[in-house]
Structure 1
Amino acid sequence: MAKPVFVLLHGAWHSPSCWQRVITELEKASYKAVAPALPSSRSTPPTPDWSKDVETIYQTVSELVKQEDIIMVIHSFSRITGGTALEGLDKDTCISKGLKGGVIRLIYITAFFVPEGFQHSPKGTRDNIIPEMITSLDEGIVTVKPKDVKGMFYQDLNDETVAELAKELRPQSLGAFWSTTTHAAWRYVPTTYILTMGDRPTTVAAAQYLIESAKASGPYKIDIVIKVDIGYSPFISRPEWTAHTLIEEVNRPL
C-alpha cells in the first residue's frame, strides 16, 4: 500500500518553516509532507477572520485526497481552523464520493479540542486572550514580546536558540480569534493527542480538561493520548522523536 501524505498545520505567529526539521526526518523515511502557509499569521493587512486559513487547508487536502490518504498534524491554533476545514474529507466520505484517498488520522500536538460552535473571543474584544498576547484592536493583530516567547513556545530550548526563533514570529490576525467553528473533525476521524508535559502547567491542565470534555460531549474518535516530557514545540526541540512518533501513528489500527 502507498504511504499516506502528512499535512502539517502550523500554529499562530508561526510559518511552515517551523516544520522543516520534521519534514527532513519524514523524507528520510520516504514519507511526503506538505506544510501550507496559513494566511492569518502572515497577511498584511491582517485577515479579518480565519476563512482564508480554512480555504487554504481545504484546498490543500481536497486536492491530495483524490489520490492519497492523509495524516493531518495539527499544532496549537490550527486546531480550530483544521477541525473546521476537514468537513467531508474523512476517509469514509471520500470513498462515498469515489475518491481514492481521504483523511485517515488526526494527530493533535498541544492543540485543544474544541466542538462545533466554538468561538475563542467575542468579536471586537480581547476576552479569553492571555496577558502575554499583546492585542491591538486598531491594527487587528496579536503579537508576543520577545521576553515571553520562551515561556509560551520553547520551554526546552536554550536562550540563544529562542532568540533566533523569536525573530521568525509574525503578527497574528486578531479577527481569527473572533471566528466560530462549524465542524469538529475529531468526531469523525481517528485521533491521536500528543500532550507535551513540559509545557506551562496551566496549558497542560487546560489540555487535559478539554480532552475529557470532548469525550463527554458526544461522539468522538480520540483513541490515544501520548504524554511526553517535552515543551510546547517538539517539532523544533525534538524533531527526530516527533517524526518517529508521527510515523508510528500511521500504523495504528483504524
Structure 2
Amino acid sequence: MSKPIFVLLHGAWHTPRCWDKLVAELDKASYESVAPALPSSGSVPPTPDWSADVDLIRGTVSDLVEKGRDVIVVMHSFSGMTGGTALDGLDKDSRGSKELKGGVVRLIYVVAFLVPEGFQHSPHGTRDNMVSEMKTDLEAGIITVEQEDVKGMFYQDLDDNTVAELTKDLQPQSFGAFWSTTTHAAWRHIPTTYIICNADKPSTVMAAQYLVDTAKASTSHKIDNVIKVDAGHSPFISKPQWTASTLIEEAGKGV
C-alpha cells in the first residue's frame, strides 16, 4: 500500500514557503506533500471572500483522491475553517461507499480553527472578534500584521533574526475571508488530530482548547487524539523534525 500524501494548508498572511522546513523533513522520510498557495493571502486585488481558497483546496484534494491516493490534510490556524469546509464527500468512507478508491483518511489541525457548520469569524463589514494586532483597512479590503507584532502572533519561540526573515514573506490578508461562513465540518466525518502549542499566545492556547472541548461535546465528532507541544504558533518552523515525525505517526493511524 502506498504512503498517504500530505496536503499542507497555510494560515492567514502566509505563503506555502512557511512549510519548507517541514517539507524537507517529510521528503527525508519519503513522504510526498503538496502545499497550495491559498488566494485569500496576498491576492491583488484581495479576494472578496474565501470561496477561492475553498475551491483550490477542494480541487487539490480531489485531483489526488481521483488518482486513488489516500490524503492527510494538515491545517494551520485560519485554514482550519476553509479546509474543514472544503472536503465534503472526499473522505475515505464516503468514496468507498461509492466503490471509489482514495480519500481523505485523516485531518491534522495545528492550532487551527476547528469549528462547526455555520461558523463565521466576524459579521460582514466589521472587525468584530479580531485581535488588536490585526490591522484592518476596510477601504483596501485587507488585514495586515505590523512587524513589531509578528513574533508575538506567529513565532514566539524563534530568534529575532529568523523572525525578521520570515516577516518578509508575510502577505496582506483578505478582509472578506473573515466574513465567510463554514458549510461543512470535516472533523465530524474524518479521523482528526488536534495539536495545541503551549508556547503560543495564552489567549490562542485557551481558544484552541475551547474549540476542541466544544467539538468533542457536540453531537458527533471523530477527534481521536489531542497533542500538546511546547512550541509557539508555528511548530513546523521551530520544530520541523518533531512536526514531521508527529504527522507521520498520526498518518499511520489512518491507513
Query: Residue 12 of structure 1 corresponds to which residue in structure 2?
Result: 12
Offset at 1:253?
5.7
CA distance in 2 between partners of 1:181 and 1:244 (Å): 30
Offset at 1:155?
0.3
CA distance in 2 between partners of 1:84 and 1:253 (Å): 20
Offset at 1:98?
3.1
CA distance in 2 between partners of 1:143 and 1:187 (Å): 32
Per-residue CA distance 1:130-177 (angstroms, 9 max, x = gap):
110000000000000000000000000001110111111000000000
CA distance in 2 between partners of 1:124 and 1:200 (Å): 26
Per-residue CA distance 1:84-103 (angstroms, 9 max, x = gap):
00011010111123321000
Contact 1:192/1:225 (CA < 8 Å) preserved in 2?
A: yes
Given residue 100 of structure 1, which amino acid in structure 2 is its aligned partner?
Answer: K
Given residue 225 of structure 1, which amino acid in structure 2 is its aligned partner?
Answer: V
Query: Residue 38 of structure 2 corresponds to which residue in structure 1?
Result: 38
Given residue 70 of structure 1, which amino acid in structure 2 is its aligned partner?
Answer: V
Query: Residue 226 of structure 1 corresponds to which residue in structure 2?
Result: 227
CA distance in 1 between partners of 2:142 and 2:113 (Å): 22
Given residue 44 of structure 2, which amino acid in structure 1 is its aligned partner?
Answer: T
Offset at 1:252?
2.1
SS in 2 for 1:107: strand
CA distance in 2 between partners of 1:210 and 1:25 (Å): 29
Query: Residue 73 of structure 2 corresponds to which residue in structure 1?
Result: 72
Aligned pairs (5 A) from 1:1-254: 1-66=1-66, 67-252=68-253
- Larger displacement relative to structure 2 (183-192 or 92-101): 92-101
SS in 1 for 2:119: coil
CA distance in 2 between partners of 1:176 and 1:214 (Å): 22
Contact 2:12/2:79 (CA < 8 Å) preserved in 1?
A: yes
CA distance in 1 between partners of 2:214 and 2:225 (Å): 15
From the superposition, tell whether residues 253 and 172 of structure 1 become closer, same or farther in structure 2 (CA, over 3 Å): closer
Q: Unpaired runs of 5+ in structure 1?
A: none
CA distance in 2 between partners of 1:39 and 1:253 (Å): 29
SS in 2 for 1:17: helix
Q: Unpaired runs of 5+ in structure 2?
A: none
Contact 1:112/1:211 (CA < 8 Å) preserved in 2?
A: no
From the superposition, tell whether residues 187 and 227 of structure 1 become closer, same or farther in structure 2 (CA, over 3 Å): same
Aligned length: 254
Instruction: Tell me the C-alpha RMSD between the 2 structures.
Output: 0.9
Per-residue CA distance 1:24-53 (angstroms, 9 max, x = gap):
111111111000110000210000000000
CA distance in 2 between partners of 1:131 and 1:228 (Å): 26
Given residue 91 of structure 2, which amino acid in structure 1 is its aligned partner?
Answer: D
TM-score scaled by length of structure 1: 0.98
Contact 2:79/2:113 (CA < 8 Å) preserved in 1?
A: no
CA distance in 2 between partners of 1:19 and 1:173 (Å): 21
SS in 2 for 1:18: helix
CA distance in 1 between partners of 2:190 and 2:164 (Å): 37
Given residue 120 of structure 1, which amino acid in structure 2 is its aligned partner?
Answer: H
